[in-house]
Structure 1
Amino acid sequence: MRARALAPALALIALLAPSAAPAAPAAPAAPAAARTDGETRVFARVGAPGFPAYVHVHPGNGRVYAATYTNPTGDTMPSRVFEWTAGGTLQRSWTVPGQNRKAARGVQVATSDARGRLVLLEKSRARVLTLNVRNGRFQVQATIPDLPGRGHPMPNYAAWGPDGGLYVTDDGQDVIWRIPAAGGMPRPWSGSKRLAGTEFGTTGIVYEPSRRSFLISQQSTTDPLDLMRGHLYRLPVRADGGPGVLSTLWTSGPLDLPDGFGVARSGNVYVALLGTNQLVRISPAGKVLARFPKRPLSGANGSPVPFDSPSNATFQGTRVLVANQSAILGTTSHHAVLAVEVGERGAPVFIPSRARLR
């Protein structure tokens, strides 16, 4: 998500929310067998420059990766990519090269490719990068074009499609891009007007192989009657590779601001609500099954770190890992990856053998 564009709405939310208690020392984690649905603990703290984005669990080495977004207070630090063990021990980090440090910066570890490289979305220059975690080499794979009259490119989330292409949501231009499996120039794949948002547009994207479709989250639409409600859409991939008809699976409440999400093997979808500091569990039919915590705004989850602009839900075993961004308050002690027990396992990450770029 793009933290700088969220300032007006999140400032309103911050005024409405109760003040969070000071962070207490981390309590020992309960044994896995004793954890209950919704139980939350701190997986890892995130160091400077903070503001962690999407969490990626690497299907090859089992390690956990997240990168950092722009500090809204205006520092000039470059973004970093962090690596933790499956248990949350920090191993390494890398500084992202070539960023425009005078512009809003941010990097998303969106996925990994069939070679095991991390796929990064870099905001300041609208680039798609790969990072080889074996040798630390960054490589520019593509640059998202600036479409006339559509705003400025803002690559946000990405997922591999059935053809091995990389599909990238663009929060700035309300487009889903496709980058060919062999690499090359990004081309607009879907430009449905329904993907446009009022400052807060298209966010997460996940491919469902069993349905041959993408799930796509959106923080809000341009429809004034929507009252800042977000959506979870389903967009089929036609036999010829083009986009099918966009349909609505779920509509959020006002100012929920749905961000990244994860899909369970059962088909349940876990969506981070950046606006109300919650996670929501949605059935395959679009019915809300639960919210963690039940009450919005405070983010009180029983851990030393409350939900504060949670931006994703990535499966690791029977829990989801959540990047706690603190996008508007910028509370350093809240910059963390949180682990929330959900009692079911995630669907395997879809990375086809052709997913290699160049």
Structure 2
Amino acid sequence: MRRALAALIAALSTTALVAAVPAGPAAQAAPAVPAARAAEARAKWDTRVFARMPGGHPAYVHVARSGRVYAGTYIASGSTAPSRVQEWSADGVQRRSWSVPPRFQRLDADHGIQVAAETRSGRLIVLETSTSSVLTLDPDSGAWRRVARLPDGAVPNYATWGPGGLYVSDYGDDVIWRVRPDGTVSEWLRSSALAGVLEFGTTGLRYVPGDRAFYATQQTITTGATLPTNGGLYRIPIAADGSPGTPELLWTSLPTDLPDGFGISRSGHFLIAMAGLTNRIVELDADGTEVDSFPQLPLVGENGSSIPFDTPCSATFLGTRVLVANQSAVQGDATHMAILDVEVGQEGVAPWVPRSAEFGRR
């Protein structure tokens, strides 16, 4: 994903349409923050460095139910180093790390991982791109396991538990995959709404049980209703029989925004990271109306911290803040590869992890 994203942004940078950025003023909560931080008043959009990213190129931040924080590495093109999972405390203190075993990754190809979700028992769900695999990592024992492989050529990007299993977005194809607890993989939804320009397609994916619907971000849209460099946020309802309904476009991004990972607040607002040229975070209300954006001046990514937004790829709630993975996909600046901490002034909702969220032995 990192190499392809850099190529797309570079191609778009000479023809980007600069538009004005709008300015504006019963679920499980995201894990609580330590008392010292909770007592500290911070203004909305106050941005700080949560942690540097060893190995570089973080693409998503996962906040576990334990309160610990995880991210995986995308490797620079040409590197043969294995991808790694990094762990921090909720205060940003670096803890343990684990390398992907060679049998689960092709080191002679572009490779990368995202810690995308977790099982009910606390195993981390890790998506690996070079082998199109769904892996698990037990942070207690350090044991890795492959639970499923998507079809050849699939690019697993984000994952969420939903009815009947784990659902995985595909960055390179117009499909959402379902992985059953026994590891069986099938197409759950194939739709032209999920087709992207040059395969730059579906990114963030989240199931909201109270709404009985999935929400998905799309980096580029090819339906003809927008410019091919616009992305968007879709709502995908679920029918009574578990089949997908027609994706509904709730919001359309600016050209070259490239919407990526997102978090959902208790009020139903979406906080979405824009991995494209605009280097911003967008806030939408529950209906998909854009109510705020940060920073007000797009492109440069200046956020008031020592590290600007540089390909921000996720917005994961931790208390009233979102943790943003700064991938630096285009610049490749190692000093920008970090997890940033952005106060948003509202509590987040943790991803749904039902009791059935486990993989059995095959």
Q: Using a 3 Å threshold, how does the CA distance of structure 1 residues 224 and 6 change in structure 2: closer, same or farther?
A: farther
Q: Deviations over 1:18-52 (max 9, x none)?
A: xxxxxxxxxxx99853310000000000112x101
Match 1:38 to one of 30, 38, 45:
45
The answer (yes or no) to whether the contact 1:162–1:212 under 8 Å persists in 2 is: no
Residue identity matched to 2:214: F
The AA in structure 2 aligned to 1:84 is W
The aligned counterpart of 2:266 is 265
Shift in Å, 1:354: 0.2
- Separation (CA, whole Å) in 1 of partners of 2:242 and 2:139: 32
Q: CA deviation at 1:178?
A: 0.5
Q: Secondary structure at the match of 1:229?
A: coil
Residue 67 of structure 1 aligns with an amino acid whose one-letter code is G
Residue 68 of structure 1 corresponds to 73
Question: SS state of the match for residue 211, structure 2?
Answer: coil
Secondary structure of the structure 2 residue equivalent to 1:226: coil
Residue of structure 1 in register with 2:145 after alignment: 139
Name the SS for the 1:102 alignment partner: coil
CA distance in 1, matches of 2:39, 2:58: 25
Aligned to 1:24: none
The match for 2:185 is 186
Task: Map residues 22-101 of structure 1 onto 2, 5 A cutoff.
Answer: 33-48=40-55, 50-59=56-65, 61-72=66-77, 74-97=78-101, 98=103, 99-101=105-107
Amino acid at match of 2:69: V
Q: CA deviation at 1:85?
A: 0.3
Say if 1:225 and 1:286 are closer, same or farther in 2 by CA, change over 3 A: closer
The CA deviation at 1:224 is: 5.4
Deviation at 1:201, TM superposition (A): 0.3
The one-letter amino acid paired with 1:258 is: P
Task: Compute the displacement of 1:349 (Å).
Answer: 1.9
Q: What is the correspondence of 1:146-157 to structure 2 with a 5 Å cutoff? A: 146=152, 152-157=153-158
Question: Structure 1 regions of 5+ residues with no counterpart?
Answer: 17-28, 147-151
Q: What does 1:100-115 correspond to in 2, within 5 Å? A: 100-115=106-121
Structure 1 residue 289 and structure 2 residue 291: aligned? yes
Deviations 1:259-312 (A, max 9, x none): 010000100000000111100000001111111101111000000000000000
Is residue 230–residue 251 contact of structure 1 (8 Å, CA) maintained in 2?
A: yes
Tell me the CA shift for residue 10 of structure 1.
2.0
Query: Displacement, 1:3?
Result: 1.4
Distance 1:173 1:302 in 2: 37
Q: Is the 8 A contact 1:9 1:255 kept in 2?
A: no
Count of paired positions: 335
> Which amino acid is 1:45 matched to?
R
TM-score, with structure 2 as normaliser: 0.89
Q: Measured at CA, do residues 35 and 330 of structure 1 come closer, stay the same or move farther in structure 2, by a change above 3 Å? A: same
1:77: Cα distance to partner? 1.1
SS of the residue 1:333 aligns to: helix
Residue 8 of structure 2 is matched in structure 1 by 9
Q: Which runs of 5+ in 2 are unaligned?
A: 17-35
**Compared CA separation, residues 14 and 168, structure 1 to 2 (3 A):** same
Counterpart-to-counterpart distance in 1, 2:337 and 2:249: 32
Question: For residues 110-160 of structure 1, what are the alpha-carbon distances to aligned partners after superposition, in whole Å with 9 as ceiling and x for unaligned?
Answer: 0101110000000010000000000000000000013xxxxx210010000
Indicate conservation of the 8 Å contact 2:317/2:350, yes or no: no
Contact 2:315 2:323 in 1 (8 A): yes
Q: Does 1:324 align with 2:326?
A: yes
Q: Note the aligned Cα RMSD (angstroms).
A: 1.6
What letter is aligned with 1:287?
Answer: T
User: Does the Cα contact within 8 Å between 1:110 and 1:120 map onto a contact in 2?
Assistant: yes
The answer to whether the 8 A contact 1:270-1:279 is kept is: yes
2:32 matched residue in structure 1 = none
How far 1:217 sits from its partner (Å)?
0.3
Give the secondary-structure state (helix, strand or coil) at the position aligned to 1:34: coil
Tell me, in whole angstroms, the C-alpha distance in 1 between the residues paired with 2:81 and 2:46. Answer: 34
Partner of residue 159, structure 1 = 160
Displacement, 1:9? 3.1
For 1:338 and 1:223, the matched residues in 2 are separated by 34
Contact 2:189 2:244 (C-alpha < 8 Å) held by counterparts: yes
**TM-aligned CA deviation for residue 357 of structure 1:** 1.4
SS of residue paired to 1:33: coil
The residue aligned with 2:308 is 306
Contact 1:43 1:337 in 2 (8 A): yes
Q: Offset of 1:183 from its aligned partner?
A: 2.0
Q: CA deviation at 1:5?
A: 1.5
Structure-2 separation of matches of 1:229 and 1:280:
14
Q: Is the 8 A contact 1:13 1:297 kept in 2?
A: no
